[in-house]
Amino acid sequence: MVTPVAWLEVDYGRALQDLLQQQLEIPLIITSACERWFQESAVHTAVCTFARRAGRQKPSGPTTLVNLLTPLATVPPEPMASLAACPSGFKCHQDWQAVTLPPRERLQALTHRREPVRAVWGTMLRAPAAYFTLHQMTAQAWTRAGELGEVRRGFTSGANAFSSCAM
């Protein structure tokens, strides 16, 4: 299914993400960091794969989030096809980067706190390798920016988004 990327990146998308995880398998989500797939559209898109589970079964397969680093037309299809069956963890390729989460693990921030800090799926799609390396080394030290100060959306042109932090 082709969807806007917005539901992967915003707070209101979390309810939809939770519902989808309860009802469906989500083997693969692919976005692009370097191009818009529909040039006439002002919306960035994602290709999302969903599979219906029988009854109330728990998720049985991993979820892989892929961010393309080169145009889709230049990415060889064979390595992309194998991504849905990759072992858990972060992978980087010259054409893409991917993070694969094991079955039954919620797509949330990689912390070991009692109340995990949820990562926006879009953030996990674009996170550099350093994010995952730092997490492994310092998981107990991570905190929400909102615990340090007030976080709010700054002024934007509409072409991009950024936040400011008032201490």
| In a domain? residue 159 | no
| In a domain? residue 18 | yes
Q: How confident is the model at residue 71 (pLDDT cuts 50, 70, 90)?
A: very high
User: Rounded distance, CA 106 to CA 40, Å?
Assistant: 35
| In a domain? residue 156 | no
CA end-to-end span of the chain, whole Å?
42
Q: Is the pLDDT of residue 154 over 60?
A: yes
Q: Is the pLDDT of residue 138 over 50?
A: yes
> Token pair for residue 64?
């892989």
| Tally of residues, the chain | 167
User: Rounded distance, CA 126 to CA 121, Å?
Assistant: 9
Tell me if 67 sits within 8 A of 125, measured CB to CB. Answer: yes
Q: According to the model, what pLDDT value does residue 57 have?
A: 76
Q: Is the pLDDT of residue 164 over 80?
A: no
Sole residue written with tokens 């992309």 = 80
| In a domain? residue 154 | no
Q: How many domains does the chain have?
A: 1
Tell me if 57 sits within 8 A of 103, measured CB to CB. Answer: no
* Mean pLDDT on 94-108: 73
| In a domain? residue 152 | no
Q: Is the pLDDT of residue 43 over 80?
A: yes
Query: What pTM, to 2 d.p., does this model score?
Result: 0.71
Domain around 112: 2-143
User: Rounded distance, CA 70 to CA 116, Å?
Assistant: 33
| In a domain? residue 165 | no
Q: According to the model, what pLDDT value does residue 156 have?
A: 57
Helix (H) or strand (E) holding 92: strand 89-92
What are phi and psi for residue 126, nearest 5 degrees? -100, -5
Q: Is the pLDDT of residue 109 over 70?
A: no
| In a domain? residue 160 | no
| In a domain? residue 66 | yes
